A and B are shown apart, each in its own frame.
Chain A
Amino acid sequence: MPLLWLILSVLAIATTGYVLGRARVMAGAGGDSRDLHSLPSYYGYNVALKVVLPSFLLLLVWLLAQPLIVNGTVAADIPESAIPDGSSRDLIMSEVRRTAEGLDNAVAQGLMTEDFARSARSDFNDVTQRLKDAGQIVTAQVTQPILEAAQRYRIMNDTGNLILSALVILVALAGAAWGMREMRPEFRARNVVERVVHGVLVAAASVAILTTVGIVLSLVFNTIEFFRLYPAWDFFFGTTWSPSFTGRGGSSELGVLPLLWGTFYISIVALLVAVPVGLFAAIYLSEYATPRVRSVAKPMLEVLAGIPTIVYGLFALLTVGPLLMAVFGKDGLGWMQAGTAVMTAGLVMGIMLIPFVSSLSDDIINSVPQAMRDGSYGLGATKSETIRQVVLPAALPGIVGAILLAASRAIGETMIVVLGAGAAARLSLNPFEAMTTVTAKIVSQLTGDADFASPEALVAFALGMTLFVITLGLNIFALYIVRKYREQYE
Chain B
Amino acid sequence: MYDAPNLAENKVTQDKIKIAARKVQVYYGDTHAIKDVDVDILDNTVTAFIGPSGCGKSTFLRCINRMNDTIDICRVQGDILLDGQDIYDKRVDPVQLRAKVGMVFQKPNPFPKSIYDNVAYGPRIHGLARTKADLDEIVEKSLRRAALWTEAKDRLDQPGTGLSGGQQQRLCIARAVATAPEVLLMDEPCSALDPIATAQVEELIDELRQDYSVVIVTHSMQQAARVSQKTAFFHLGNLVEYGDTGTIFTNPVDERTESYITGRIG
Binding site for B on A (CB under 8 A): 290, 369, 371-382, 385, 389-390, 393-394, 488-490
Indicate if B215 sits at the interface (CB-CB under 8 A). Answer: no
Closest 10 CB pairs of A and B: A380-B99, A378-B103, A371-B109, A380-B98, A489-B112, A379-B122, A375-B109, A394-B112, A390-B111, A382-B95
Distance from A346 Cβ to chain B, minimum over Cβ atoms (Å): 34
Residues in A whose Cβ lies below 8 Å from that of B126: 380
Q: What residues make up the interface of B, taking CB atoms closer than 8 Å to A?
A: 65, 67, 70, 72, 95-100, 102-105, 107, 109-113, 121-122, 125-126, 159, 161, 172, 175-176, 179
Chain B contacts for A489, CB-based, 8 A: 112, 159, 161
| The one of B70, B72, B176 that contacts A379, using a Cβ cutoff of 8 Å | B176
Q: Are the C-beta atoms of A488 and B67 separated by less than 8 Å? A: no
Whether A371 pairs with B105 at a CB distance below 8 angstroms is yes
Contact A374 B96 (CB under 8 A): no
A394: which B residues are within 8 A, CB to CB?
Answer: 111-112
Tell me which residues across on chain B come within 8 A of A389, comparing CB atoms.
111, 121, 125
Q: Are A375 and B161 in contact (CB under 8 A)?
A: no
- With contact pairs A374-B105, A489-B161 given, residues A380 and B67 touching in the complex (Cβ less than 8 Å): no
A393→B159 CA distance, assembly (Å): 12
Contact of A488 among B72, B107, B159, B172 (CB under 8 A): B159
Most buried by B among A290, A373, A379, A488: A379
Given A380-B97, A380-B98, 19 extra CB contacts under 8 A: A371-B107, A374-B67, A374-B103, A376-B111, A376-B121, A377-B70, A378-B67, A379-B99, A379-B103, A379-B122, A379-B179, A380-B179, A389-B125, A390-B112, A393-B112, A394-B112, A488-B112, A488-B159, A489-B112
Residues of B within 8 A of A490 (CB): 161
Tell me how far the C-beta of A304 lies from the nearest C-beta in chain B, rounded to whole angstroms. Answer: 28
B residues near A382, Cβ cutoff 8 Å: 95
The residue from B72, B95, B109, B175 contacting A369, defined by CB atoms under 8 A apart: B109
Residues of B within 8 A of A373 (CB): 70
C-alpha gap A325/B97 in the complex (Å): 54
* A375 in contact with B125 given A380-B98, A490-B161 (CB within 8 Å): no
Q: A379-B99, A488-B159, A489-B161 are in contact. Are A372 and B109 (CB under 8 A)?
A: yes
Which residue of chain A has the shortest Cβ distance to B100 in the bound complex? Answer: A380
In angstroms, Cα B121 to Cα A385, docked, is 10
Contact between B121 and A379, CB atoms less than 8 A apart: yes
Report the Cα distance A225→B102, complex, angstroms.
70
Residues of B within 8 A of A374 (CB): 67, 70, 103, 105, 109
- Whole-angstrom distance from the CB of A291 to the nearest CB of chain B? 8
In chain A, what residue has the closest Cβ to B111?
Answer: A390
Chain A's closest residue to B162 (CB) is A488
Instruction: Determine the distance from Cα of A385 to Cα of B67 in the docked complex, in whole angstroms.
Output: 16
Distance A380 CA – B175 CA, assembled complex (angstroms): 12
Query: B176 touching A372 by the CB < 8 A rule?
Result: no
Which of A375, A385, A389: most chain B CB closer than 10 A? A375
Give every chain A residue within 8 A of B97 (Cβ-Cβ). 380
Contact (Cβ within 8 A) A393 B98:
no
Distance A381 CA – B176 CA, assembled complex (angstroms): 12
Q: How far is the CA of A377 from the CA of B121 in the complex (A)?
A: 11
| Cross-chain contact A379 with B159 (CB below 8 angstroms) | no
Q: Contact between A381 and B107 (Cβ–Cβ < 8 Å)?
A: no
B125 touches A379 (CB 8 A): yes
Residues of chain A lying within 8 A (CB to CB) of residue B125: 379-381, 385, 389
Question: Contact between B102 and A379 (Cβ–Cβ < 8 Å)?
Answer: yes
Q: How far is the CB of B239 from chain A (nearest CB, A)?
A: 23
Which residue of A372, A380, A489 has the most chain B CB atoms within 10 A of its CB atom?
A: A380
Q: In whole angstroms, how far apart are the Cα atoms of A379 and B184 in the complex?
A: 11
**What are 23 residue pairs bridging A and B, where the CB atoms are less than 8 Å apart in the complex?**
A290-B72, A371-B107, A372-B112, A374-B105, A375-B109, A375-B175, A377-B67, A377-B98, A378-B67, A378-B102, A379-B175, A379-B176, A380-B95, A380-B97, A380-B99, A380-B100, A381-B125, A382-B95, A385-B125, A393-B111, A394-B111, A488-B161, A489-B161
Could you tell me the distance between the alpha carbons of A381 and B103 in the complex, rounded to whole angstroms?
Answer: 12
Of B97, B125, B176, most buried by chain A (CB within 10 Å of CB) is B125
| A381 nearest CB neighbor, chain B only | B125
Bound-complex Cα distance A386 to B65 (A):
17
Q: What is the distance, in angstroms, from B221's C-beta to the closest C-beta of chain A?
A: 26
Given that A380-B96, A380-B125 are known contacts, is A375 also in contact with B111, CB under 8 Å in the complex? yes
Residues in A whose Cβ lies below 8 Å from that of B107: 371
The distance in angstroms between the C-alpha atoms of A488 and B96, with both chains bound, is 31
Q: Tell me the smallest distance from the CB of A252 to a CB of chain B, in Å.
A: 54
Contacts of B172 in A (CB 8 A): 375
Chain B residues with CB below 8 A from A375, complex form: 105, 109-111, 172, 175
Tell me which residues across on chain A come within 8 A of B99, comparing CB atoms: 379-380
B159 to chain A: closest residue by CB: A488
How far apart are B208's CB and chain A's nearest CB, in angstroms?
16
Q: Are B95 and A381 in contact (CB under 8 A)?
A: yes
CA distance A79 to B172 in the complex (A): 90
A41 to chain B, nearest CB (A): 43
